[in-house]
Structure 1
Amino acid sequence: MPIDVAAALGAEPAACELSWTEPDVLLYHLSLGAGAYRTDPAELRWTYERDLQVLPTFALVAGGRAATMRSGAPMRLPGIDVDLRKILHAGQAITLHAPIPVCASVRSTSRVAQVWDKGKAAVIVLQNEVADLDGRPLWTATSQIWARGEGGFSGGPPAGEGVAGGGGDAGPDTSWAAPERPPDLVLDSPTSTQSAMLYRLNGDLNPLHVDPQFAAAAGLDRPILHGLASYGIACKAVVDEVLGGDASLVRDYAARFAGVLVPGESIRTRIWRNGERLTLQACCPERDGAPVLTHATMTVGAS
């Protein structure tokens, strides 16, 4: 059915309680490749409950919050009903208000924050705010969902980049370029052929990441790694190599998903420093530097 923007934006926020424990955190870290270098004592901060830290990107799967999608299931929200095969995760941002606890029960509130008309597609912006049960904020996450074939709801001709059909909101300009100087640091992170199989156990059971037939129906020649897995792997690399392994120093982190990664390929993350602000770009070296993450920034340092 067509997207009903008024219904989507006017709906009451959805609220629920979530909880997680140490094994959930350990599984998440393992799904990002933590422990691959098992003789490295530094990896124990991600893989051993003694002195366990929590990567900030765990917020996106905490308490099973990742979408539990099965074959053929649509994306259903107030005013929005889109076939799963038309959906791509386009971008993700997170702002940390406090370090994420190893074990916790929290209250989560989610809503549709924006709907942008790209002509041939729609971008659905979802916002999620999480606080502990005493009301102290923990994080705010914003997801951009690209829905193919769902644009044009504002009327008028098909839109170009940054231009909505019929005068509707097309969202912000998406132009981006890496800094015009060599990166300050380049980090390579491997993935395994089992990476997507592990990552989906965090709650995102979208068959796009495991079922070859489903991937083919979506126009891909094989299942791909979750975009949020690439996002988390790059975050871990920065925490390990730039922040001395201190996950609490990440204050915010945002990226656009610019291309796919196949399990077994590696992620090369280029980092440019500008004080507390880092600019990141991730690519796949096995495919001549094909882009994986762009528009990526991270603010670091004690808040």
Structure 2
Amino acid sequence: MPIDAAKAVAAEPRSTKIAWGHKDVQLYHLGLGAGLPAADPEELRYTLESRLHVLPSFATVAGGGPGVVGGISLPGIDVDLASVLHGGQSLTPHRPLPVSGEAELTSKVAAVYDKGKAAILVLRSEAADDEGPLWTSDSQIFVRGEGGFGGDRGPSTRLPAPEGGPDLTVLRPVREDQALLYRLSGDWNPLHADPEFAALAGFERPILHGLCTYGMTLKAVVDTRLGGDVSRVRGYRTRFTGVVFPGETLRIRMWHADDRVRAEVTAVERDDAPVLSDTVVEHA
């Protein structure tokens, strides 16, 4: 069987040294669509090195990140990249991320769940520097055709529907070249650039990285609900429920209560097809 669940979970964690600088942070922010308008003081916090702060979701690409491609090369896992989709993501920043830094990144398969027609791999990455833990990140990787091995189905990540209308709705355009720019931060999956590979995976054309939509949504929440203060983010999780094609527009609906912002994201041009669901930003 291409996935040996017991072997994958029992494997020793992989550790590697990672490093990043202000150019990596700026490139990541630009890949999320930051910098429009270019002279807007609020956007300069994402693009100008003298004013730079770091969106916590940068953790998903810092040092190139293990990514989906790295995760499916771990012991006990041997699957076709064309059968792999990103199912969900959670992130806990333990303190604000520095503009430049070095850290030790430890990665492992935390769990393998059997969803019947598919398997879910939970890839956990933890980063720490000389001052202590920086972040913990979990990626839920959906592997089509690899379920049915009699394993645990795993917990449900679905939340009850939000009550009432959203407190705020914003639109965020996705540029035609956005996936090509975002992939320069380290996710080289050809699904996001190569039309022939996208067709093999069942898509009419390359799709946007789920983690790009993830970062765009967090930026929208920080900018509109958290006063632009990235240090207020305490946790961020989502479930990927649909794809985004470059050139489309994201509709981001937000419900704010106490120390949580709930968000739902849809693709405007496809009759508000769901993109991100069960999305929560926890904040100070």
Q: C-alpha distance in 1, partners of 2:261/2:42?
A: 23
Q: Residues 231 and 68 of structure 1: is their aligned pair in 2 closer, same or farther, counting only changes over 3 Å? A: closer
One-letter identity of the residue aligned with 1:26: Q
> Matched residue of 1:214: which SS?
helix
* Match in the other structure for 1:294: 277
* Match in the other structure for 1:157: none
Give per-residue Cα distances to partners, 1:50-105, cap 9 Å, x unaligned: 12000000000001115385xxx993211111110010000000001000000000
One-letter identity of the residue aligned with 1:97: H
Name structure 1 gaps, 5 residues minimum: 155-167
* Match in the other structure for 1:139: 135
One-letter identity of the residue aligned with 2:63: G
Q: CA deviation at 1:295?
A: 1.1
Give per-residue Cα distances to partners, 1:159-206, cap 9 Å, x unaligned: xxxxxxxxx200112444431200111111111000000000001010
Give per-residue Cα distances to partners, 1:267-290, cap 9 Å, x unaligned: 111111110011111111111111
* Match in the other structure for 2:190: 207
Q: CA deviation at 1:117?
A: 0.5
**2:68–2:141 CA contact under 8 A, matched in 1:** no
> After superposition, where does 1:223-262 map in structure 2 within 5 Å?
223-262=206-245
Q: Residues 228 and 247 of structure 1: is their aligned pair in 2 closer, same or farther, counting only changes over 3 Å? A: same
Q: CA deviation at 1:119?
A: 1.3
Q: CA deviation at 1:2?
A: 3.2
Q: C-alpha distance in 1, partners of 2:71/2:15?
A: 21
* Match in the other structure for 1:94: 91
Name structure 2 gaps, 5 residues minimum: none
Q: C-alpha distance in 1, partners of 2:185/2:13?
A: 24
> After superposition, where does 1:43-192 map in structure 2 within 5 Å?
43-67=43-67, 69=69, 75-134=72-131, 136-154=132-150, 168-192=151-175
Identity %: 54
* Match in the other structure for 1:34: 34
Q: CA deviation at 1:34?
A: 0.5
> Matched residue of 2:51: which SS?
coil
Q: C-alpha distance in 2, partners of 1:175/1:16?
A: 33
Q: C-alpha distance in 1, partners of 2:208/2:251?
A: 15
Q: CA deviation at 1:133?
A: 2.9
Q: Residues 175 and 248 of structure 1: is their aligned pair in 2 closer, same or farther, counting only changes over 3 Å? A: closer
Q: C-alpha distance in 1, partners of 2:193/2:91?
A: 26
Give per-residue Cα distances to partners, 1:102-129, cap 9 Å, x unaligned: 0000011111111001111100001111
* Match in the other structure for 1:222: 205
**1:117–1:169 CA contact under 8 A, matched in 2:** yes
Greater displacement, 31-40 / 174-183: 174-183
Give the length in aligned residue pairs: 284
Query: What TM-score do you get using the length of structure 2 for normalisation?
Result: 0.97
Q: C-alpha distance in 2, partners of 1:128/1:31?
A: 22
**2:86–2:210 CA contact under 8 A, matched in 1:** yes
> Residue 9 in 1 paired to residue 3 in 2?
no
Q: CA deviation at 1:41?
A: 1.8
> Matched residue of 1:293: which SS?
strand
Q: C-alpha distance in 1, partners of 2:166/2:146?
A: 38
Q: C-alpha distance in 1, partners of 2:87/2:21?
A: 29
Supply the RMSD in Å over aligned alpha carbons.
1.4
> Matched residue of 1:77: which SS?
coil
Greater displacement, 272-281 / 85-94: 272-281
Give per-residue Cα distances to partners, 1:236-276, cap 9 Å, x unaligned: 01111111111111110000111000111111111111100
> Matched residue of 2:34: which SS?
coil
Greater displacement, 262-271 / 24-33: 262-271
Q: Residues 247 and 175 of structure 1: is their aligned pair in 2 closer, same or farther, counting only changes over 3 Å? A: closer
> Matched residue of 1:282: which SS?
strand
Compare CA radii of gyration and give the structure with the larger one: 1
Q: C-alpha distance in 2, partners of 1:65/1:200?
A: 12
Q: C-alpha distance in 2, partners of 1:74/1:99?
A: 25
**2:113–2:120 CA contact under 8 A, matched in 1:** yes
> Matched residue of 1:237: which SS?
helix
